[in-house]
Structure 1
Amino acid sequence: MQDFFLNSFRPVSIIMGAVMLILSARRLRDFATARARDQYLFVLGLLLIIISVLPALLRVVATRFGLPPSQNGGIILAMMLAIGILFVLNLQSLDRNEVNKRKLDLLNRACSLEHFRASEEFAKVPPKAQRETLCIVPSYNEADNLVHLIERFAALREFGRTLTVVVVDDGSSDDTEEVVRASGCVYFRQLTNRGQGSALRSGYNLAIDLGYMYAITIDADGQNNPEEIPSLIMPLARDEADVVIGSRILGKHDITVIWRHWGVKFFTALFNLLSGQKITDISSGFKAIKVTSLKKLNLYEDQFQASEFLMLSAKTGARFREVPIHFKQRHSGKSKKGNDLFYAIKFCSVLFFSWIRYR
């Protein structure tokens, strides 16, 4: 029965291989439409025909690998080859997707920047001599929280330093644009939703391109206090640090889920072990950095970017300082971080791979 099945399958295999050869060969002749997949398809079609026409050859090769010198050995070897080829193709596909992802991110941020420069919002940017601190607020569907957050920035206009607040809208579908435009803050919109990490990179690009001295980030959900911005900027202005972190551990925090609190402690301890630093809050979104130090960072994570930011800063030799802050509960709505377990796994993954990167 087995021999009957195999002998019946051989003609089908030969036909399939011939079809693959013809289709791939026709595409390979046209250089403009040829792709790497056509080369793989041509080789696979050729192998399929050879294996079908000369099954004994496959059994001979199988014995070299210690497999049974029978049809079963040839079948096992063919399956091993097929799995190996599929594995390589999958890796190549993942690699190509990663390259395309980075190109898309660069294109999105470049187009968003050009769109911003051509908009009336660019007129809100102060003259070059007054560009000292850029406060970046990444936001995605946080209009209700932004209303209350922006009101609290008014008191900072007189804290002794020039402050520009820019809300980077990561493709929101709510009233974010209307809220920000009416507030007097600078509105910057990403053309597509790419994630908080991409929104922060757009803000960092603005800080660099527009010649600011310091960049500070604050969450749009109302968990951070704009009134505490001066305490983060002062160590930079005094040249006591290159990166300043607002620490809920040193200050006060409204714990909503106990395992998130212990998760912060665990990942912070892991970060300190890998980087040689001594910080207390690795996942704080309330941070400040000198733009000269910012230029050294090669950031590309779209999510869970807090650990990437700090790990790469540590690897460039940045001086760290922490200041106590009050970390509150969200003013309204739900967190967009998703499942706690998934968040922890991804956060740890980004932390580890940022550690093994050169820069």
Structure 2
Amino acid sequence: MFYSNPADAGIDADALQTLAGTYGERATKLPPIAMVIAAYNEEGAVGPVVEKLPKTVCGLAAEVIVVADGCVDATAKEADAAGAVVCDVPVNRGQGAALRLGYRIAREGGAEYIITTDADGQYNPLEIESLLAPVIEGKADFVTGSRRTGSEETKDPVRRAGVRFFASLVSLLTGQRISDTTFGLRAMRAEVTGAVQLEQPQYQASELLIGVITHGYRVLEVPATIHKRTVGESKKGQNPLYSLHIPGVNNLFYGARFTRVVLGTWWRERRRRS
């Protein structure tokens, strides 16, 4: 596994050792499907999310893996009580780093398929089967939901414009039409996550998507739904002025950082192919 920050290797190793000691074979001998959730201070939200996730998908058994990313609340305890395998990392590194660790737990535990969803309850668990089915049937290696072909409850014009802008940018750079680059509900063959380079601590959705496309994996979008968050607040676009909630500032920070990740990943992958 590639680590751009050497310290991450040690953090992951310690977390994996603690995980194995806590859960034993339940964490090291997983069923065919692993549902991976990265969570940061999602007390009150993560428990209901875990409880609503299906125990089987497309006839295959599933296990929920929650990576608690340096949480200072009861996220880890709540997720465990709800029935998840919880990897409690003491350092907050970002959603990308948490998902990367979750992918590794899934692969090394023997899962054949990985599903990702968020800890905030914005995605519909009933739509998971429609995402995984094309992967199991051999029609795709990676399937992502799309709010643009499905539905979304948010009326934020800035966010909607951002979704369209980044979809157009990634489509232009990769040559594959994508309508939604940031949707968190996804399904994939587990081996895909080990083949692509994942180094971004945040905004890994675009890094993973671009990496998958440029490695030649078959990518498919299906209509899906994103609901409004009902518990807690979004962690996206956090910055030194985040707590002031100045209109437009958080979206500006988020957009600038996301653009940097998109362009940086595309350039890295272009050089790799050359």
- Offset at residue 200 of structure 1 (A): 0.2
Flag the structure with higher helix content.
1
Name the CA distance, whole Å, in 2 between partners of 1:193 and 1:247: 28
> Relative CO higher for 1 or 2, CA cutoff 8 Å, sep ≥ 6?
2
Other-structure match for 1:149: 49
Q: Do the aligned partners of 1:152 and 1:227 also contact (CA within 8 Å) in 2?
A: no
For 1:194-233, list aligned pairs within 5 A.
194-233=93-132
For 1:312-323, list aligned pairs within 5 A.
312-323=211-222
User: Is 1:235 aligned with 2:146?
Assistant: no
Other-structure match for 1:106: 9
Other-structure match for 1:122: 24
Name the CA distance, whole Å, in 2 between partners of 1:261 and 1:117: 42
Name the CA distance, whole Å, in 1 between partners of 2:24 and 2:236: 31
Name the CA distance, whole Å, in 2 between partners of 1:266 and 1:301: 21
User: Is 1:349 aligned with 2:260?
Assistant: yes
- Offset at residue 199 of structure 1 (A): 0.3
Residue 195 of structure 2 aligns to a residue whose secondary structure is: coil
For 1:215-294, list aligned pairs within 5 A.
215-294=114-193
User: Identity percentage over the alignment?
Assistant: 36
Other-structure match for 1:172: 71
- Offset at residue 124 of structure 1 (A): 3.2
- Offset at residue 123 of structure 1 (A): 4.2
Q: Do the aligned partners of 2:29 and 2:110 also contact (CA within 8 Å) in 1?
A: no
Name the CA distance, whole Å, in 2 between partners of 1:335 and 1:285: 13
Q: Supply the AA of the counterpart residue of 1:264.
A: V
Compared with structure 1, are the counterparts of its residues 123 and 269 closer, same or farther at alpha carbon in structure 2 (3 Å cutoff)? same
Residue 222 of structure 2 aligns to a residue whose secondary structure is: strand
Superposition misfits of 4+ residues, deviation over 2 angstroms: 121-128, 155-159
Compared with structure 1, are the counterparts of its residues 301 and 100 closer, same or farther at alpha carbon in structure 2 (3 Å cutoff)? closer
Name the CA distance, whole Å, in 1 between partners of 2:163 and 2:57: 34
Q: Supply the AA of the counterpart residue of 2:255.
A: A
Q: Supply the AA of the counterpart residue of 2:200.
A: E
TM-score, scaled to structure 2 = 0.89
Residue 204 of structure 1 aligns to a residue whose secondary structure is: helix
- Offset at residue 329 of structure 1 (A): 0.6
Among 196, 203, 209, which residue is 1:297 paired with?
196
Q: Do the aligned partners of 1:133 and 1:162 also contact (CA within 8 Å) in 2?
A: yes
Residue 200 of structure 2 aligns to a residue whose secondary structure is: coil
| Structure whose alpha-carbon radius of gyration is higher | 1
Cα deviation, 1:177-211, whole Å, max 9, x if unaligned, reads: 22122122111111311110000001011122112
Other-structure match for 1:26: none
Q: Supply the AA of the counterpart residue of 2:140.
A: A
Q: RMSD of the alignment, in Å? A: 1.8
Moved more, 293-302 or 264-273: 293-302
Name the CA distance, whole Å, in 1 between partners of 2:17 and 2:29: 19
Other-structure match for 1:75: none
Other-structure match for 2:40: 140
Structure 2 residue ranges without an equivalent (≥5)? 238-249
Cα deviation, 1:263-293, whole Å, max 9, x if unaligned, reads: 1001100000000111210011111111222
Cα deviation, 1:292-324, whole Å, max 9, x if unaligned, reads: 222211101001111111111111001111111
Other-structure match for 1:74: none
Q: Supply the AA of the counterpart residue of 1:320.
A: V
Residue 24 of structure 2 aligns to a residue whose secondary structure is: helix
Structure 1 residue ranges without an equivalent (≥5)? 1-98
For 1:319-338, list aligned pairs within 5 A.
319-338=218-237
Q: Supply the AA of the counterpart residue of 2:7.
A: L
TM-score, scaled to structure 1 = 0.68
Name the CA distance, whole Å, in 2 between partners of 1:179 and 1:136: 16
Q: Supply the AA of the counterpart residue of 2:56.
A: R
Q: Do the aligned partners of 1:253 and 1:327 also contact (CA within 8 Å) in 2?
A: yes
